Structure 1
Amino acid sequence: MPKSNIPVLKEPKPKKNTSKKVAALLVALFAVLLGVLFFRSSISKITDIEFRGSSYSTNEELLKESGLKVGMSFFGTSAGTIRKRLAGVQAIESVTVDKRFPGVVEITVHEYPSVAYELASDGKLMAYLSNGSKVLVKNGISLEKPMLSGWDKDQVNLLKLCSTLAKMSAELTSDISEILPSPTLSFPDRIRLYTRSGFEVITTISLLPKKTEYLNGIIETQEPGLITMLEADTYVPFAGASSAEEGENSTTHE
């Protein structure tokens, strides 16, 4: 008998699980909708911007530099971006940014320390900072730092002086009342300073850090007088200071 060709039955393909795909799509759409609603709502906006630690810049000035505004997106500006923007303010050494959800941005400013002051020609008080910058003093302060006079034309040595004063003890700098430039050919960075305890000191900016121990010893144990700290260290009570100073000037001035 001839064999009959029996067709092979195809196995039925499993039906696609369309219900799961539909559910996943609905979840995704719902998540997108929630995201849109969240970023359009007030909860995603900056509601409070706080500045702390600034003495030489107002909150309005810092706010402008930061680029922040109440009502802008809380997630639109990173803490790193805020720090970089505020780094351009000359009085600021570093910045700490704390973003607290919802809506609060707290910025703590760390300024360069003040090392000296200057009374400007218009009567305004200016502060010299450890990085050499000069800023307007906007708030009442206790003047426990030296006053600088006559430094307008000597910016190089002024920067060196500010850096030097920043490294000295607060006890010593608070006793210095005034510092003036007093350059000579032999000592182009020579300075003359006066102390609140009644001493007059002649030295150089570069020698001052090395001479502080000697200076402290004289101020603490001797009567007010003229202290010279150049190639050699000398101290003369004011009764004999005039002749000593004339001798020093004759060897250093043109």
Structure 2
Amino acid sequence: MEKTQFMPVLKEPGPGRKSNRKLLIVLFLLFAILLTVLFFNSSISKISTITIAGQQYIGVSEVEEAAGIVIGDAFFGTSSSTIEERIEQLSSVAKATVTKSFPGEVHIQVEEYPSVGYELSASGQITALLSNGTTLAMQGRDFVVDKPVLSKWTENDPNKVKLTKVLGELPPATIGDFSEIIPIPSASYPDRIKIYTRTQFEIITAISLLKEKAPQLNAVIERQPPGRVTMLLADTYASYESGFGESEDSNEKEKGE
């Protein structure tokens, strides 16, 4: 005769146990909210220091204003990417990197477009020309004129912007040797320019050809005594000692076209 097995009866949790669990959850949530409110109202959640580095042509105050944050703002109130985007709206800034270190530290690293030249205005003010075509007044700033000076250019000459962008693509050593660049347009080459170098060369070329001709130009400067170098349709060189001959005459004729 088989024995009958009985399953034990499971007791349902009493209403008191459910109420205690709900109460604990509510208390935990209230405690978490209280801690959150206390944290965001405490000094530890605020920006305590802002450091800025890397800028050369713009001031710290300009970067701070563009960033849109000040000491005392909520540390987590604005994301690093948002601050970076704001700073990169400045015409001279190529890239901004924002690093946050809890508690309260914000570091902004600025990378500006490099300067490729300077220009002297009619009023005697020096203006820096950046590789993206931006111009910055240098009054009140410390700087060294270690790039070419653009002379005799009109204010709205589109070739000036093209020139700054081409100069930005050349090796620093190359543009560092250029002392002065003036426009000498002709019918054949509206963007023709004359470059004087610190190594005593006189170069005639065109903005549209400058990047292409730069390697040959460097080779001539390194191997030849000072003289005139023409790099247009054909490349010619004549030392000052030998005179310019036909090369000079032909360029002067083209200049007068």
TM (normalized to structure 1)? 0.89
> What letter is aligned with 1:219?
I
Tell me how far 1:115 sits from its aligned partner.
0.9
> Alpha-carbon deviations, 1:195-245, whole Å to 9, x = none?
111111110011111212221222122222111111111112224227642
Matches within 5 A, 1:1-254: 14-16=13-15, 17-137=18-138, 138-239=140-241, 240-241=243-244, 244-254=247-257
* Equivalent pair of 2:193/2:205 in contact (CA under 8 Å): yes
* Equivalent pair of 1:48/1:70 in contact (CA under 8 Å): yes
Gaps of 5+ in 1: 1-10
Q: Distance in 2 between matches of 1:24 and 1:96?
A: 42
Q: Which moved more, 1:148-157 or 1:52-61?
A: 148-157
Q: Distance in 1 between matches of 2:32 and 2:73?
A: 22
Tell me how far 1:135 sits from its aligned partner.
1.1
1:219 alignment partner, SS class: helix
* Equivalent pair of 1:115/1:128 in contact (CA under 8 Å): yes
> What letter is aligned with 2:202?
E
Tell me how far 1:183 sits from its aligned partner.
0.7
Provide the residue aligned with 1:8 in structure 2.
Answer: none
> What letter is aligned with 1:118?
E
Q: 1:158 and 1:177, CA in 2 relative to 1: closer, same or farther beyond 3 A?
A: same
TM (normalized to structure 2)? 0.88
Gaps of 5+ in 2: 1-9
1:207 alignment partner, SS class: helix
Q: Distance in 2 between matches of 1:134 and 1:44?
A: 39
Q: 1:154 and 1:12, CA in 2 relative to 1: closer, same or farther beyond 3 A?
A: closer
Tell me how far 1:45 sits from its aligned partner.
0.7
Tell me how far 1:122 sits from its aligned partner.
3.3
> Alpha-carbon deviations, 1:58-84, whole Å to 9, x = none?
111111111101111111111111011
> Alpha-carbon deviations, 1:131-155, whole Å to 9, x = none?
0111123533332211111223454
Provide the residue aligned with 1:6 in structure 2.
Answer: none
CA RMSD of superposed structures (Å): 1.9
> What letter is aligned with 2:129?
Y
Tell me how far 1:252 sits from its aligned partner.
4.8
Q: 1:12 and 1:96, CA in 2 relative to 1: closer, same or farther beyond 3 A?
A: closer
Q: Which moved more, 1:148-157 or 1:75-84?
A: 148-157
* Equivalent pair of 1:44/1:103 in contact (CA under 8 Å): yes
Report percent identity of matched pairs: 43
Tell me how far 1:119 sits from its aligned partner.
2.2
Q: Distance in 1 between matches of 2:50 and 2:11?
A: 65
